[in-house]
């Protein structure tokens, strides 16, 4: 059985095509998850709407607690990490992380950055090897083949890697770096472009993105069915 962590980061609560001023990234994540569940109802989903309920921004107490050895943490330190622990537990439990996010001012929304900061944490998702000062980072989420599906919406066009306006898009590269840092390297990207242009440009991009989502769902279901489930030690 596959478990999906579904995250929506858009500040817009509605779904494009259904609600006034709805979110195109939410449209894509809804399409992905609903299609997945329609053919695999036995699979489970955890939903987190960080666009409407943003994670806390990390604080001095969070930093002091996260970098303190677990055996030396005082009760206030454990309290400071409660939210982080919960978000990390959700991430660890997932086989597929579906992230719906717009591109805001060249990068990710503040709510998604807050989530990244909460889940990239020493001792939980990454370790440090003191004997290797050049590259001391050891990702911890390598126990199985997790996938991340990043479904984005952009106001501009031609912002994918290698295209004319790619230099203005720091969203996907940032997420790719953060996810790989903790051990999630199988990342799939689908984007809607032209939201600010509108008209036929946007309509064609939406239709193409929906088709890509449908194809990706089918491909991932086949891939996961052919992957042996981890066995208890």
In terms of phi and psi (left: phi > 0; alpha: psi -120 to 50; beta: otherwise), the region of 54 is: beta
Closest alpha carbon to 151 in 124, 172, 122, 167: 172
23 belongs to an annotated ligand binding site: yes
Per the CB < 8 A criterion, the answer to whether 108 and 171 are in contact is yes
25 belongs to an annotated ligand binding site: yes
Q: 132: which DSSP letter?
A: -
d(CA 76, CA 199): 53
d(CA 229, CA 42): 15
Count Cβ neighbours within 10 Å for each residue of 189-213 and write b for 16 or more, e otherwise: bbbbbbbeeeeeebeebbeebbebb
84 belongs to an annotated ligand binding site: no
Q: 3: which DSSP letter?
A: E
Tokens of 48: 């987190």
Per the CB < 8 A criterion, the answer to whether 109 and 10 are in contact is yes
24 belongs to an annotated ligand binding site: yes
DSSP E strands in the chain: the ranges are 3-8, 44-49, 96-102, 126-128, 137-139, 147-153, 186-192
Binding residue numbers for FMN: 10, 23-25
Binding residue numbers: 10, 23-25
């Amino acid at each position: 059985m596959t478990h999906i962590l579904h995250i929506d980061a858009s500040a817009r609560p509605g779904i494009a095509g259904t609600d006034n001023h709805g979110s195109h990234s939410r449209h894509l994540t809804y399409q992905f998850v609903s299609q997945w569940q329609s053919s695999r109802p036995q699979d489970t989903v955890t939903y987190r709407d960080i666009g409407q309920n943003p994670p806390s921004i990390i604080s001095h107490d969070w930093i002091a607690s996260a970098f303190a050895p677990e055996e030396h943490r005082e009760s206030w330190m454990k309290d400071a990490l409660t939210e982080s622990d919960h978000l990390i537990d959700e991430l660890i439990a997932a086989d597929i992380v579906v992230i719906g996010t717009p591109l805001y001012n060249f990068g990710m929304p503040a709510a998604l950055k807050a989530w990244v900061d909460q889940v990239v944490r020493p001792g939980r998702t990454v370790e440090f090897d003191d004997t290797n000062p050049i590259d001391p980072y050891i990702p911890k989420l390598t126990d199985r083949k997790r996938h991340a599906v990043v479904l984005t919406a952009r106001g501009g066009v031609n912002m994918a890697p290698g295209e004319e306006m790619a230099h203005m898009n720091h969203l996907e590269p940032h997420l790719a770096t953060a996810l790989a840092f903790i051990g999630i390297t199988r990342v799939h990207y689908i984007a809607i472009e032209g939201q600010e242009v509108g008209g036929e440009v946007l309509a064609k991009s939406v239709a193409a993105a929906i088709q890509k989502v449908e194809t990706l769902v089918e491909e991932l279901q086949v891939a996961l069915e052919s992957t042996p489930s981890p066995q208890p030690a």
